[in-house]
Amino acid sequence: DIAKDLILLYAKRMDSKGFAFSPDSYLQNELEASFQFEDTPDQIKATIAVKEDMEQPYPMDRLICGDVGFGKTEVAIRAAFKAVIDGKQVALLVPTTILALQHYKTFTSRLKDFPCTVDYICRLRGSKEISEISKQIENGKVDIIIGTHRLLNKEIKFKDLGLLIIDEEQKFGVAAKERLRQMKTNVDTLTMTATPIPRTLQFSLLGSRDLSIINTPPPNRLPVETEIISFDEDIIRDAINYEVERGGQVFFVHNRVEDIKSVEEIVKRLCPNVKTCIGHGQMESTQLEKIILDFMEGDYDVLVSTTIIENGIDIPNANTIIINQAQNFGLSDLHQLRGRVGRSNRKAFCYLIVPPLTSLTEDARRRLKAIESFSELGSGFNIAMQDLDIRGAGNLLGGEQSGFISDIGFETYQKILAEAFNEIRQEDGMSLNEGETRFKEEETYITDCVIDTDFEILIPDDYVNIVAEKIRLYKELDSLTEDIEIDKFLEEMKDRFGPVPSQVEQLTYTVKLRRIAVELGFERITLKNGIMLAYFVSNQLSSYYQSNKFAKILSFLQTKSKRFKLKEQRDKLYIAVENVKSMESAYKILLEMNNI
């Protein structure tokens, strides 16, 4: 249903007239000149792109990807102010209460000398205050409103919403984001995220999104030194004392509210002269707000908290973070948490406390190794790839990534959404994009095929032992669409790393197999114990079953009835083929089928 609404909404947006904002005024130039830091080249590019989009007569839909602390908020402030100058209202949607507070402080301090009112809505405000603010929004008295999911409430009505900014978009459900857009299809939308999304997104969904990537770190920014340690009281004491003695502050992350108090006691025992405080999501909202603000002001040295600090808290004075039980966090969570420190020109430290490595699962060990090795600036991209290695060639074969959006990564999520889109378009008889209508005769009924096998198909550690390079190779191989390109890829591998092992050769055949399986209409192929099962499109009402392609496959099966068996189980139609000894032979079977 969401996909259906999305399609109609996007179709409406492309046809709808947006508001064309006027070119920069002197006030806009004043604001940009008052920025206390020097813009990085990518920041300049992103700002120009956003402003150009806003001046177009159709609605903007731009995504800004930038690593933690690379200056996305400044781009958002400039865009918001541009909308306010033209008499429009701006809504900034954030995932957490604390981030709402943080943005409120940043926006008010940046815009204090300009004619612009900023307010915020979250659970820290009482219901009386919220209804008062709602009235002001409806009367147009508030120019920029910052808020959590509360902004999605029906009672909040805008007088004239012109720009919607979504921060940390990966934390929101699609339904939540679309609720805001349904208020007005012709609202310009700017989305920000620190989990960088591969460039393929540029041609994403219905081609309705533009992408800006902020890759350059601010000048004088140093990488965060990351170290894996066991719960060693001496190291923890030294780390806290070192930070406090140089005038800094410390985050101590412990993600269990039940025993967070005892962790604070340990910190107090180790460093008796240090002022500590506790912050977590189950506290009274006013109390939590006071603690965070006091910590920002420097009243406390150590904040012992849950992951409530994960998103967007910007305290340049806090330059050491200690994460307890780090093995229980996902890669992108660790990366976000580490991004809370090292936001000034000081050297920052991140300590990951884990039990003895031998007691951890293989996955957890590799996750920790990945976060430790990717500590250079802008390494978010490598981390956002969710380290393909940890899940095998997950993105390539789609085996272990069913259903968890945080694990499957945006690319696969896009694929799933695109499939839903195509299905709905076919059902509703909606027109396809220009490029698609040209290929109407060669209609594809599925967009991807999942391959599940017990063969060893991977790039072995003893062949390529640098994780980042291996991820790059997997990605490159996944993007190849022609056999010639794949052969060239193998030649390059041989040239760089020596004779290509059989696992890698079989991996390249997997890519070819997957491509040809999609052409033939196979949704899933399993290859285990020498038996290949190829499953047809699962939607029994699909027009695939009336197509020439399906008819050709059936006639092929009749001529080869000894080796190929057509079967049906639990309403799923599939072909079983025995004695398939490798990926290569599976590929050749499908090739023969395709060449009928």
For 316-335, the pLDDT digits (tens) are 889 999 999 998 887 777 88
With b for 16 or more beta-carbon neighbours within 10 A and e for fewer, the 66-88 pattern comes to bbbbbbbbbbbbbbbbbbbbeeb
What six digits make up the tokens of 345?
């020109």
Distance between the two ends of the chain, CA-based, in angstroms? Answer: 38
In which band, very low, low, confident or very high, does the pLDDT at 449 lie, cut at 50, 70 and 90? Answer: confident
Please check whether residue 377 is in contact with residue 252, taking contact to mean a CB–CB distance below 8 angstroms: no
Please give the share of the chain, as a percent, with pLDDT higher than 90.
30
What six digits make up the tokens of 202?
């540029």
Determine the pLDDT at residue 548: 87
Determine the pLDDT at residue 174: 63
Selected residue with higher pLDDT from 381 and 133: 133
Selected residue with higher pLDDT from 206 and 300: 300
pLDDT tens column, 177-187: 667 667 656 78
In which band, very low, low, confident or very high, does the pLDDT at 375 lie, cut at 50, 70 and 90? Answer: low
Determine the pLDDT at residue 121: 92
Which positions ≥6 away from 134 have C-beta within 8 Å?
A: 155, 156, 157
pLDDT tens column, 192-208: 877 544 333 333 433 44
d(CA 106, CA 94): 14
CA nearest neighbour of 271 among 240, 247, 229: 240
d(CA 195, CA 503): 31
Determine the pLDDT at residue 8: 62
**Residue 196: what residue type?**
P
Q: Are β-strands 522-528 and 531-536 bridged in parallel, bridged antiparallel, or unpaired?
A: antiparallel
- Three-state secondary structure call for residue 341: coil
- Kindly calculate the radius of gyration of the chain based on its CA atoms and give it in whole angstroms: 27
In which band, very low, low, confident or very high, does the pLDDT at 144 lie, cut at 50, 70 and 90? Answer: very high
In which band, very low, low, confident or very high, does the pLDDT at 446 lie, cut at 50, 70 and 90? Answer: confident
Q: How many helices (H) and strands (E) does the chain have?
A: 21, 18
The mean pLDDT of 47-69, rounded to a whole number, is 86
In which band, very low, low, confident or very high, does the pLDDT at 397 lie, cut at 50, 70 and 90? Answer: very low
Whether residue 27 has pLDDT greater than 80: yes
Beta bridge partners of 89: 161
Which positions ≥6 away from 358 have C-beta within 8 Å?
A: none
In which band, very low, low, confident or very high, does the pLDDT at 429 lie, cut at 50, 70 and 90? Answer: low
Range scoring the smallest mean pLDDT among 125-134, 355-364, 406-415: 406-415
Q: Is 423 exposed, middle or buried (0-12, 13-18, 19+ CB in 10 A)?
A: middle
Determine the pLDDT at residue 422: 62
d(CA 206, CA 209): 8
Whether residue 145 has pLDDT greater than 70: yes
pLDDT tens column, 259-278: 999 999 999 999 999 999 99
Selected residue with higher pLDDT from 418 and 39: 39
Domains of the chain: 2-214 (3.40.50.300), 225-380 (3.40.50.300), 394-594 (3.90.1150.50)
Determine the pLDDT at residue 50: 95
Q: Is 304 exposed, middle or buried (0-12, 13-18, 19+ CB in 10 A)?
A: buried
Ramachandran sector of residue 429 (left: φ over 0; alpha: ψ -120 to 50; beta: rest): left
Whether residue 387 has pLDDT greater than 50: no
Runs of H (alpha helix) within 385-454: 394-397, 405-428, 434-438
Determine the pLDDT at residue 202: 34
Range scoring the smallest mean pLDDT among 188-192, 211-215, 341-345: 211-215
Range scoring the smallest mean pLDDT among 115-119, 157-161, 408-412, 530-534: 408-412
Whether residue 77 has pLDDT greater than 90: yes
Whether residue 405 has pLDDT greater than 70: no
Sheet holding 522-528, edge to edge: 450-453, 522-528, 531-536, 572-577, 564-569
Whether residue 213 has pLDDT greater than 80: no
Over the chain, what is the mean pLDDT? Answer: 80
Runs of H (alpha helix) within 429-501: 434-438, 467-479, 483-497
The mean pLDDT of 460-468, rounded to a whole number, is 83
Selected residue with higher pLDDT from 540 and 375: 540
Determine the pLDDT at residue 411: 53
The 3-class SS string of 194-222 reads: CCCCCHHHHHCCCCCCEEEEECCCCCCCC
